[in-house]
Amino acid sequence: MAARAMAILPLAIVIGVLSYAWTEFSLNFTFHWVTANDDVLLGLGQPENFHLILPAAFISWGLFFAAGGDNAAFGKIFLAITIGSVAALITMPLAFETADIPDFWGIALWVGIFGFVLVAILIAGDWYYVAGTFPAFASVFFWWIATGLDGWVPGDVSGNDAGKDAWLTALGEGDVLGLGSGAALGLINTPWPWVWFNIWITLICGLILGIVSAKVAAVITPRPKSADGS
């Protein structure tokens, strides 16, 4: 039990410290340091089109360890999150060009097509880590939904204000704080290309956190004593 604790606790401590640092950095970056408008909602600024998405980093961080937690895993997950997120980037405009509000079948159709593609790439060989592509694909879609499904409402393309008004009209509401229809009463309303870029960059940040946590933990973890006690 003691030997197991000595092996696990250093990694747990490193991950705990890095989790605190990432959370503090990413939230301040998004809502205080790099904002389009300052103090628009309870002391929070309205994020720029480029911002960091706190939870997304934990997805790629976990994928790194699931893939082995070593240098090979870093390359494998980097490729997986790039392929998965780019598939979502292609899917978004195809989906809302196929069918916009209130029909979801256009979104469903292209998600189904790219779900097939992401798995079919396995035919190319074992270098491809399909288990890492789906979380990346889903992360982009989650943030697209959370920030207002830019493009799905006619006119709401790349942050167009007319599109935001159309969203609010469709919802039967007045303009909430003049911010639009995204997350937190419209505090975050992101053009769809930026949805992809923000998620991809944040997933890369999580992958970096993974390799750093593994390397630092390896340095501070006590080495087991050899048979001669050295």
CA separation for the pair 132, 152 (Å, rounded): 27
Q: What is the reported pLDDT for 68?
A: 96
Residue 180: DSSP 8-state: -
Each residue's pLDDT tens digit, 106-132 = 999 999 999 999 999 999 988 899 999
Residue 138 above 60 pLDDT?
yes
Residue 37: DSSP 8-state: E
Residue 1's pLDDT band (cuts 50, 70, 90): confident
Rounded to 5 degrees, φ, ψ at 39 are 50, 60
Residue matched to tokens 């997950």:
77
Mean pLDDT score of the chain: 86
Residue 222 above 60 pLDDT?
yes
Distances in Å between the Cα of 181 and the Cα atoms of 39, 41, 105, 148, 168 are: 18, 14, 21, 5, 7
Radius of gyration of the chain (CA): 21
Asked if 52 and 198 touch (Cβ cutoff 8 Å), the reply is yes
Q: What is the reported pLDDT for 174?
A: 41
Q: Residue 207: count other Cβ atoms within 10 Å of its Cβ.
A: 24
How large is the angle between the packed helices 192-220 and 130-146, nearest 10 degrees? 130
Nearest to 209 by CA among 7, 23, 10: 23
Each residue's pLDDT tens digit, 156-176 = 655 545 444 454 444 444 444
Q: State the DSSP string of 4-36.
A: HHHHHHHHHHHHHHHHHHHHHHHHHIIIIISEE
User: Which residues, in sequence order, are CB contacts of 217 under 8 Å at separation 6+?
Assistant: 10, 11, 14, 15
Asked if 194 and 50 touch (Cβ cutoff 8 Å), the reply is yes
Asked if 80 and 129 touch (Cβ cutoff 8 Å), the reply is yes
What percentage of the chain has pLDDT greater than the value 90?
Answer: 64
**Domain map (residue ranges) of the chain:** 13-26+44-220
Tokens linked to 213: 């946590």
- Lowest-pLDDT choice from 23-27, 52-56, 143-147: 143-147
